[in-house]
Structure 1
Amino acid sequence: MEDEFEFGFTEDPKFSVERYEEMIRNHDQYFFDAQAFENIIDYYIEKNDPAKALQVAEYAADQHPFAAVFLIKQAQLLAITNRTGAAFAALDKAAMLEASDADIYIIRGNIFESMERYAEALENYEKALELAEETDEILLHIAYVYQNMGDYETSITYLKLCLQQNMENQDALYELAFCYDVLDNQEESVQFYQQYIDNEPYSYAAWYNLGNAFTKLGLFEKAIDAYDYAILIKDSFASAYFNKGNALVNLEKYAEAIEVYRHTFEYEQPNADTYCAIGECYEKLEQMDDARAFYKKSVKMDPKLADAWFGIGVTLDFEERYFEALHFYRKALDIDLSNADYWFAIADAEYKLGHMKEAEEAYERVVELNPLDIDAWLDYSSILYEDQRLEGAIEIISEAIKNNPEAAELYYRMVAYLFAKGEYNEALNYLELALGADPEKHYILFDYLPQLQENKVILDIINRYSK
């Protein structure tokens, strides 16, 4: 029989690991106390080697048959490797030894959650709540289950309880923001984070989430202030810089946004999204060479980023290089075939190149994908009008009005087409509808058919509504 050596918890964890590996190499049998075994298991878990960790847990359970901790570790590792049956069996054995260990119910809850057996997951988490000393992570798991069930209101309740237990639980702060976002309840989100900050003014995550909530409400100045506080507390917070840049873009402060986006490069590797955002700022500033350079950096880093390919097209379009622009618009479209903006840009470029059939087909796709795009309907009908296909132009505008009954521009355009077709009474009916929708926009009619400015009947009707 081999000699047995004993190693205790006073040993350095690294020493315990070395001794364990030596034992395996030598096919020997050493005795380790429970703490030493836990250290060895944790070492392999940290090394992302669940197979070795499980081997140690099984060896430990043999040496310490009445220690529930090793059965619990086994169950955890079996669950990670998708051996749920064996995991449940290990937990049942652990429960016979130490039924009051909260980890048994937490792991069982985890397994049921991964199996989408949510009622059983909740039952186990609730049991764990009764037994555990620290409950914030359990409350967080319960919140996840309710999210998976689509019950975001209840999830919010548990996330708030989680934060009452541990104000610094960052995951709960971000999940709370997510739930408010799904419920489109940014006002309550703002209220919660403001109250939270009153108690925890140095929580960069809370300031960041407050900034995001203000952004979604369109309160960009307030959002920037919140992001500034997040950055002040954690100056390496790249996401706060990026979102602050987005808020500045919404305020059309493009030069400032570029500087803020560049700050992210100090704290994380440049990425395609940031390059693309900088490119868009240069595009808005009409610095097309710079814009194109950043868009190109973006697609080099991520060839699947459709917006960057599209951006290159926009810069070429601006320089009236329509044929080249089309190539890049189509690359964007290959990635995102149902993007109405890409189809619109293609339609416009084809029109400028005199390719009327292709332009018409592209506009048809735009209005199919986004029937609320009034400009697309107007441009689409214009192609038919220019081609003397008045019936078709009127049909298109009629369809546009069905989809956008409040849009005065469409009624004014219909008036122009009906006049051009000689259907004066019908045109006057539509003029009344247009003026009823928005009398201020009557200039649209004259922009399209200037000769109507001499028409006394039309002028009389317009004057009546203007007064």
Structure 2
Amino acid sequence: MEEDFEFDSPEEQKFSVDRYEEMLRNEDQYFFDTKAFESIIDYYISKNDPIKALQVIDYAIAQHPFETLFIIKKAQLLTSTHQFELALEALTKAEFLEPSEADIYLIKGTIFSTLSEHELAEENFMKSLELSENPDEVYYQIANLYQIQGFYLKAIENLKMCLNINKDNQEALYEIAFCYDVLGKHEESVQFYLQYIDSDPYSFAAWYNLGNAYHKLEQFAAAIDAYDYAILIKDNFSSAYFNKGNALVNLDRYNEAIEVYKQTFEYEPPTADTYCAIGECYEKLEKMDEARKYYKKAVKLDSNQSDAWFGIGVTLDFEERYFESLHFYKKALEIDDENPDYWFAIADARYKLKQYDQSIEAYGKVVELNPTDVEAWLDYSSLLYEQSHLQEAIDVISEAIKCNPDDALLYYRMVAYLFAAGKYNDALNFLDLALNIDPEKNYILFEYLPQLQGNQVIIDIIKKYTNNK
């Protein structure tokens, strides 16, 4: 006879597991009631051993063939191991035995959602919703289905329904933030979390997501306040410390940011991202030795941390150690060769090393990757001009204007190049265009070509625009 246990403690679970494993060793057949089997199954699931858990379920079904619970657990495990056909077969059997069990349709919906059978998934979720006594998880899964299809407003509606039933559902709180973020509705996100906090002021997750929404709106002081409340409620909330550090950086409060980043180390092991963030703060403070120390810590933890390799290069560049900086810029580029900032730094370093052809090539890559980088276009064309490639400089600025038609700096630079090329009528036409966009920036023309200050035609045209403003 099996002893009469309540299977709700670790000791009692261990007794059941030991007895089950003894049965296997003895190649015998012991009887277990449903609670004992459930406890054994949960034990192997907690050990992340689905194969043994499924083996227990098969024993359980053999002894309790009409117990739907075991068939549903089998379907859940088969689903988690992507054995969807077998899972659906098990659910068909469970549905025959107990057609009013909501979990059957919830699992079916999850499977069909994974298989991109969206209509079947929704149909099963809705059936589960009708039958479920605790439908918050169903609403959550429906929201996931809508997210997969890109219906983010519908997803938000269902996530809110989930939270109305279970306000402690942390996943739903974070998913709402994600949906608002994808939609770019950061103001609505702020309003939602403010209302949520009114009903649950001690929700650290709500304060954290509120902080993130303020951050996206570039309301950094408000974001810091929200992160502080999240930390007050949960003092080991390392993500809140990290994001607070980011907000402080955006306010140029680098010393404070460093201290906040370092506080994360009290609650979780240091990460490459945090070391890199600290390094960037020291870099902004022009404490290059400290910056380099933290960038090196970052790459030691994660050799694929491209920003840290780049940061080391920046610190060396600041110290005019251009050849060394180039080495580290190239290390960053090996990891992320589509990053225009890395190419820009390489172009600049090669220019300083008088490697002009390679610098020109790198600038070409910068503007290919980021055609809205006006500074890169200007430096690119300037280098060509310095190397007596005047027509190429004109062609580059012409392309830059196509990509940035409203930037006056490009037009003024074109005026300078056209005058240098002796194309005076074209130059005056571009001068008109530049003055139409921003007459106050006309000084840029003379900074680049001071000799034009004595050109009376240019002076008269500029006066016409500036006197009318």
TM-score bin, normalised by smaller chain: over 0.9
Consecutive unaligned residues of structure 2, counting only runs of 5 or more, are: none
Structure-to-structure mapping, 1:340-355, within 5 angstroms: 340-355=340-355
Query: Equivalents in 2 of 1:317, 1:85: separation in Å?
Result: 59
The residue number in structure 2 matching 1:212 is 212
RMSD between aligned alpha carbons? Answer: 1.3
1:66 aligns with 2:62: no
The residue number in structure 2 matching 1:152 is 152
Query: Equivalents in 2 of 1:111, 1:7: separation in Å?
Result: 39
Name whichever of 77-86 and 20-29 sits farther off.
77-86
Structure-to-structure mapping, 1:195-206, within 5 angstroms: 195-206=195-206
The residue number in structure 2 matching 1:117 is 117
1:6 equivalent among 2, 5, 8: 2
Structure-to-structure mapping, 1:243-392, within 5 angstroms: 243-392=243-392
User: Deviation digits for residues 63-84 of structure 1, max 9, x if unmatched?
Assistant: 1122111111222222223332
Contact 1:9 1:34 in 2 (8 A): no
Structure-to-structure mapping, 1:72-221, within 5 angstroms: 72-221=72-221
Percent identity over paired residues:
66
The residue number in structure 1 matching 2:47 is 47
Contact 1:7 1:16 in 2 (8 A): no
User: Deviation digits for residues 248-305 of structure 1, max 9, x if unmatched?
Assistant: 1111111111111111111110000000000001111110000111001101111111
- Matched AA of 1:291: A
- Matched AA of 1:122: E
Name whichever of 77-86 and 235-244 sits farther off.
77-86
- Matched AA of 2:2: E
Distance 1:83 1:415, change over 3 A: closer
Structure-to-structure mapping, 1:23-42, within 5 angstroms: 23-42=23-42
- Matched AA of 1:39: S
What's the secondary structure of 2:2's corresponding residue? strand
Deviation at 1:464, TM superposition (A): 2.2
The residue number in structure 1 matching 2:446 is 446
Query: Equivalents in 2 of 1:277, 1:383: separation in Å?
Result: 33
Deviation at 1:9, TM superposition (A): 4.5
Deviation at 1:311, TM superposition (A): 0.5
Query: Equivalents in 1 of 2:20, 2:392: separation in Å?
Result: 83
Deviation at 1:8, TM superposition (A): 4.2
Deviation at 1:397, TM superposition (A): 0.9
The residue number in structure 2 matching 1:428 is 428
Query: Equivalents in 2 of 1:189, 1:336: separation in Å?
Result: 33
- Normalised by the length of structure 1, the TM-score is 0.97
Contact 1:223 1:247 in 2 (8 A): yes
What's the secondary structure of 2:31's corresponding residue? strand
Query: Equivalents in 1 of 2:102, 2:434: separation in Å?
Result: 69
Name whichever of 89-98 and 203-212 sits farther off.
89-98
- Matched AA of 1:126: M
Contact 1:313 1:325 in 2 (8 A): yes
Contact 1:8 1:35 in 2 (8 A): no
- Matched AA of 1:6: E
Query: Equivalents in 2 of 1:89, 1:393: separation in Å?
Result: 69
Query: Equivalents in 2 of 1:195, 1:404: separation in Å?
Result: 42
What's the secondary structure of 2:30's corresponding residue? strand
- Matched AA of 1:244: K
User: Deviation digits for residues 374-402 of structure 1, max 9, x if unmatched?
Assistant: 11111111111112222111111111111
User: Deviation digits for residues 82-137 of structure 1, max 9, x if unmatched?
Assistant: 33222222222222221111111122222222222221122111111111111111
Query: Equivalents in 2 of 1:454, 1:59: separation in Å?
Result: 98
Name whichever of 148-157 and 266-275 sits farther off.
148-157
Contact 1:8 1:36 in 2 (8 A): no
Contact 1:394 1:414 in 2 (8 A): yes
- Matched AA of 2:145: V
What's the secondary structure of 2:295's corresponding residue? helix
Number of aligned pairs? 463
1:19 aligns with 2:15: no
Deviation at 1:157, TM superposition (A): 0.9
Distance 1:392 1:84, change over 3 A: closer
Query: Equivalents in 1 of 2:3, 2:154: separation in Å?
Result: 49
Query: Equivalents in 1 of 2:217, 2:275: separation in Å?
Result: 26
The residue number in structure 2 matching 1:462 is 462
Query: Equivalents in 1 of 2:69, 2:309: separation in Å?
Result: 55
Contact 1:333 1:339 in 2 (8 A): yes
What's the secondary structure of 1:30's corresponding residue? coil
Query: Equivalents in 2 of 1:13, 1:369: separation in Å?
Result: 59
Deviation at 1:424, TM superposition (A): 2.1
Contact 1:7 1:32 in 2 (8 A): no
- Matched AA of 2:391: E
Query: Equivalents in 2 of 1:87, 1:265: separation in Å?
Result: 43
Contact 1:412 1:434 in 2 (8 A): yes
Query: Equivalents in 2 of 1:97, 1:387: separation in Å?
Result: 83
Query: Equivalents in 2 of 1:45, 1:269: separation in Å?
Result: 28
Query: Equivalents in 2 of 1:86, 1:379: separation in Å?
Result: 63
Query: Equivalents in 2 of 1:454, 1:377: separation in Å?
Result: 27
Structure-to-structure mapping, 1:222-261, within 5 angstroms: 222-261=222-261
User: Deviation digits for residues 416-455 of structure 1, max 9, x if unmatched?
Assistant: 1112222222222211211111111111111111122222
What's the secondary structure of 1:6's corresponding residue? coil
Query: Equivalents in 1 of 2:200, 2:389: separation in Å?
Result: 67
Consecutive unaligned residues of structure 1, counting only runs of 5 or more, are: none
Query: Equivalents in 2 of 1:10, 1:454: separation in Å?
Result: 99
- Matched AA of 1:37: F
